[in-house]
């Protein structure tokens, strides 16, 4: 179990030797104040920050690693733990240990990763769905894509912004692995965390009103702006400051989900939506009216296209963390960690398929 320290860090109890001391040594080496190894300095970007060890006054013999709480900044954190690599046992494992690990998930060598668990916040029910390691072990080559996509579903829609941002972050970790031959990682994981609620963008249900039998001219927004419903869709030709607001990208996922929910309830109605972006004290307000006939037609797919064609740097602005964790089986090496690289590439392929399909 991971414990919370009053100062906002988390405490991971040191495992029995040799695993615990090995993990402590790994963190100490990477975060040595005198470290001048560029490979290790780069690696810090992809780990939780390390703050040394800690022991409770009442039990001085109990040792804990003091680590950054990666979930701390999130309001409704969605969390997934994915073990990476073709082998979940290290080179010094006994035959019994190897057999035990292989029997847990025989597809590990072929797939290159294993979902150890996930906890997903669903906006629709204001509750969490939790899956344990048995769920991950039940996934096959045919079902792994759908199995992982559950983590990115809000209860309303697939969070493509989070999938895209996750891919970019994994690619950075892959770059590091492609360029280093110092360390090999076994039974190590990636921790995925993203914001499940609309923390930065608040959309209040009281701001959504449905009015029967009111007709809105095609493409007209209440502020006089025009939303084009063609294949080269443009959003908000002008705003108060004369520039397209970057906050559109952050509002879009919830914007689309709320439209979809409201529209499924009334068949011939008009939807008025107010979106307030409260991030960094900059308030952006837009009142949008779209006729129901267009919502039943091609507007919803077009809203997805707006996001899909946004620049990569905008996609990466999704509130997502991907960090490497669990280092009880890290060993010096003089070659690339091909097993870990294989797992990362396979995971990226699966996430890309989720995004594309």
Tens-binned pLDDT, residue by residue, of the chain (357 aa):
789 999 999 999 999 999 999 999 999 999 999 999 999 999 999 999 999 999 999 999 999 999 999 999 999 999 999 999 999 999 999 999 999 999 999 999 999 999 999 999 999 999 999 999 999 999 999 999 999 999 999 999 999 999 999 999 999 999 999 999 999 999 999 999 999 997 444 333 333 333 333 343 434 333 433 333 333 333 333 333 333 333 333 343 443 344 444 434 433 333 333 333 333 333 332 333 333 333 344 444 443 443 443 344 434 457 999 999 999 999 999 999 999 999 999 999 999 999 998
Assess contact for 10 and 77: CB atoms under 8 A: no
Give me the residue label for tokens 């800690």: 54
Does the domain spanning 70-198+318-356 belong to CATH 3.40.50.2300? no
Assess contact for 333 and 184: CB atoms under 8 A: yes
Distances (CA, A) of 323 to 23, 48, 81, 169, 194: 16, 7, 10, 9, 12
Cα-flanking dihedrals φ and ψ of residue 199, to 5°?
A: -75, -45
Distance CA 101, CA 114 (A): 12
Q: Cβ neighbours of residue 31 under 8 Å, at least 6 residues apart?
A: 44, 49, 50
Distance CA 112, CA 135 (A): 16
Q: What angle do CA 73, 76, 78 make, to 5 degrees?
A: 95
Distance CA 269, CA 114 (A): 46
Q: Where are the domains of the chain?
A: 1-69, 70-198+318-356
Distances (CA, A) of 48 to 32, 41, 148, 324: 14, 13, 23, 7
């Amino acid at each position: 179990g991971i414990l919370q320290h009053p100062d906002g860090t988390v405490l991971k109890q040191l495992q029995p030797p040799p695993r615990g001391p090995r993990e402590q040594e790994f963190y100490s080496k990477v975060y040595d104040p005198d470290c001048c190894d560029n490979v290790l300095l780069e690696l810090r970007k992809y780990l939780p920050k390390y703050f040394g060890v800690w022991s409770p006054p009442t039990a001085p013999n109990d040792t804990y690693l003091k680590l950054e709480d990666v979930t701390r900044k999130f309001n409704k954190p969605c969390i997934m733990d994915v073990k990476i690599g073709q082998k979940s046992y290290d080179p010094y494992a006994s035959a019994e240990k190897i057999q035990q690990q292989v029997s847990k998930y025989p597809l590990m060598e072929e797939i290159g990763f294993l979902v150890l668990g996930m906890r997903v916040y669903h906006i629709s029910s204001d509750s969490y769905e939790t899956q344990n390691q048995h769920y991950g072990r039940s996934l096959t080559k045919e079902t792994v894509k759908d199995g992982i996509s559950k983590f990115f579903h809000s209860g309303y829609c697939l969070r493509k912004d989070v999938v895209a941002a996750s891919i970019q972050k994994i690619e950075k970790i892959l770059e590091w692995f492609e360029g280093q031959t110092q360390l090999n990682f076994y039974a190590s994981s990636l921790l995925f965390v993203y914001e499940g609620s609309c923390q930065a963008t608040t959309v209040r249900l009281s701001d959504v009103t449905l009015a029967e039998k009111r007709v809105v001219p095609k493409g007209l927004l209440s502020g006089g702006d025009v939303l084009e419903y063609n294949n080269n869709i443009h959003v908000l030709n002008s705003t108060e400051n004369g520039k397209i607001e970057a906050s559109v990208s952050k509002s879009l996922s919830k914007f689309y989900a709320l439209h979809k929910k409201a529209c499924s309830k009334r068949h011939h109605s008009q939807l008025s939506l107010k979106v307030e972006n409260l991030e960094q004290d900059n308030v952006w307000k837009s009142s949008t009216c779209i006729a129901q006939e267009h919502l039943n037609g091609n507007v919803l797919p077009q809203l997805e296209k707006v996001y899909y064609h946004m620049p990569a740097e905008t996609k990466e602005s999704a509130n997502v963390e991907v960090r490497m964790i669990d280092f009880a089986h890290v060993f010096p090496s003089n070659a690339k960690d091909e097993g870990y690289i294989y797992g990362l590439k396979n995971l990226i392929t699966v996430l890309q398929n989720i995004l594309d399909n």
